[in-house]
């Protein structure tokens, strides 16, 4: 059986829920999206909702698959995000998740108290009450507080107008004039003209409110209530399949809430365990067996590396878990293999996620233009602080990948 990862359940399948599912997957969670078989989602190009109809959907280079057997998905190592239409109580019983995120965005409904459903329950958007019906909440309304974590009390009430897209505001939407089954032959990304009949609810035609591109469109065959949003048209040239700002900031808020409550995200915990396991097998220097906390003699550059990371930890990340991870990373920096191997992570992508999630300011300086391997970047940053710009990691010169990582290193570089 594959190694089991901590599980997270995300309620909902629209754009905010899907952005959260992607962010949690990068953070190391095995993610299940819990939603019904006929999700009434408009922005399907920015979400995983179509997995309910087609069996799978792809967004942000991630695949979400509809599953029938939750335990089989879990035991297989949960390679993809799962979409489950099973009752929530059955999902929770099968997975015992560490985290539950209610991202259904039911703007006017009052959520039930869900604090007993998981060790950490996070609510997104209006009508959540941190400490009342969830443990922590995240603001989703436009403004300065978008993505901020609410530790105690209610989130902001529903208010305001949609953010304009090239001057188009609420006039780009259509709301169901009657209740019934939505019928359409169009899809996300199609071009339409103002007044064109693009759908029907029973005998009632639904016309495009603008000439432009379809960004939001309820899937054919989905039942709607009267006044439920069903169509969104945006100006031609708008990217209708990208990660939008509001879902991105809401997902970042969920990660901030987890750091605030739990400290390290699963990928950070995995890295610490990886260093300890490698040290126990003699694959890292002896001081790594205690993460360098109890070692009588540490390399001279060990403490400065830890200090660099600690100075730039995520604002919500408490000092103690941050220091544990910083020590693990510093231990791995003195290994003889690739960083992902010395941390026992799956590859560079997971290493990048670990840095970005826990030490975001540090990670941001390793820009796409610079694009250094992470161990080299650690010593690059340390060298800048010590006035030794060509400082090299001590264990890299014997590696068979040295030329790939250090082909541009000047002669006379110091270890």
| One-character DSSP codes across 330-349 | HHHTT-SS-HHHHTT-SSHH
How far lies 310's CA from each of 10, 11, 269, 274, 327, in Å?
Answer: 31, 34, 16, 20, 10
The residues spanned by each domain of the chain are 7-161+245-255, 170-234, 263-406
Phi and psi torsions of 277, nearest 5°? -65, -40
Identify the band that residue 41 occupies on the pLDDT scale cut at 50, 70 and 90. Answer: very high
* Residue 47 pLDDT: 97
Burial profile 154-182: b = 16 or more Cβ within 10 angstroms, e = fewer: ebbeeeeeeeeeeebeeebbbebeeebeb
Check: CATH 3.30.310 for 7-161+245-255? no
Give the model's pLDDT for residue 411.
41
Residues in the chain: 415
Report the pLDDT value the prediction gives residue 108, as an integer from 0 to 100: 80
Residue 66: alpha-carbon gap to chain centroid: 19
pTM across the whole model: 0.86
Q: Which two tokens stand for residue 263?
A: 């400290």
Q: How far apart are CA 145 and CA 414, in angstroms?
A: 46
pLDDT band of 107, cuts 50, 70, 90: confident
pLDDT in tens, 364-411: 999 999 889 999 999 999 999 988 877 888 866 555 555 566 555 544
CATH topology match: 7-161+245-255 vs 170-234:
no
Lowest mean pLDDT among 18-27, 203-212, 366-375: 366-375
Topology of the domain covering 170-234? OB fold (Dihydrolipoamide Acetyltransferase, E2P) (2.40.50)
pLDDT digits (tens, 9 = 90+) for 152-166: 999 998 877 788 888
Beta bridge partners of 183: 200
Phi, psi for 250 (deg, rounded to 5): -65, -40
Regarding beta strands 81-84 and 30-34, do their DSSP bridges make them parallel or antiparallel, or are they unpaired? parallel
Burial per residue of 322-349, b for 16 or more beta-carbon CB atoms within 10 angstroms, e otherwise? bbbbbbbbbbbbbbebbbbbbbbbeeee
The predicted-structure confidence for 85-98, as pLDDT tens digits, reads as follows 999 999 999 999 99
Predicted local distance difference test score (pLDDT) of residue 222: 97
- Residue 178 pLDDT exceeds 60: yes
Q: For residue 130, report the phi and psi dihedrals to the nearest 5 degrees.
A: -65, 120
Q: What is the pLDDT of residue 5?
A: 79
């Amino acid at each position: 059986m594959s190694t089991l990862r901590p599980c997270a359940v995300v309620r909902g399948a629209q754009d905010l829920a899907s952005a959260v599912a992607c962010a949690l997957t990068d953070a190391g969670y095995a993610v299940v999206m819990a939603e019904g078989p006929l999700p009434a989602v408009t922005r399907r190009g920015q979400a995983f909702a179509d997995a309910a109809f087609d069996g799978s959907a792809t967004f942000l280079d991630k695949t979400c698959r509809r599953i029938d057997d939750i335990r089989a998905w879990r035991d297989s190592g949960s390679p993809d995000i799962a979409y489950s239409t099973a009752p929530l109580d059955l999902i929770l019983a099968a997975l015992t998740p560490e985290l539950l995120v209610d991202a259904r965005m039911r703007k006017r409904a009052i959520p039930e108290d869900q604090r007993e459903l998981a060790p950490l329950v996070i609510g997104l958007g209006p009508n959540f009450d941190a400490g009342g019906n969830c443990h922590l909440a995240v603001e989703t309304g436009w403004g300065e507080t978008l993505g901020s974590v609410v530790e105690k009390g209610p989130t902001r009430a529903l208010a305001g107008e949609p953010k304009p897209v090239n001057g188009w505001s609420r006039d780009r939407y259509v709301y169901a004039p009657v209740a019934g089954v939505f019928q359409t032959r169009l899809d996300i990304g199609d071009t339409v003209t103002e007044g064109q009949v693009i759908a029907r609810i029973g005998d009632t035609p639904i016309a495009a409110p603008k000439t432009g591109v379809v960004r939001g469109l309820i899937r054919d065959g989905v039942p709607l209530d009267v006044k439920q949003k069903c169509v969104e048209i945006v100006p031609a040239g708008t990217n209708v399949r990208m990660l939008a700002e509001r879902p991105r900031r809401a997902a970042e808020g969920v990660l901030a809430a987890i750091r605030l409550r739990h400290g390290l995200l699963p990928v950070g915990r995995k890295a610490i365990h990886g260093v300890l396991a490698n040290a126990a097998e003699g694959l890292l220097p002896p001081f790594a067996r205690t993460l360098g906390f109890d070692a009588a003699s540490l390399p001279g550059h060990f403490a400065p590396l830890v200090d660099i990371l600690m100075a730039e930890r995520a604002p919500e990340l408490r000092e103690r878990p941050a220091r544990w991870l910083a020590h693990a990373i510093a231990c791995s920096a003195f290994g003889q293999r690739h960083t992902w191997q010395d941390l026992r992570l799956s590859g560079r992508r997971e290493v990048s996620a670990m840095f970005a999630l826990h030490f975001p300011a540090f990670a941001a300086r390793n820009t796409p233009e610079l694009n250094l391997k992470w161990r080299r970047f650690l010593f690059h940053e340390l060298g800048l602080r010590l006035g030794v710009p060509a400082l090299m990691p001590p264990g890299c010169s014997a590696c068979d990948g040295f030329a790939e990582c250090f082909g541009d290193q000047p002669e006379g570089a110091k270890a």
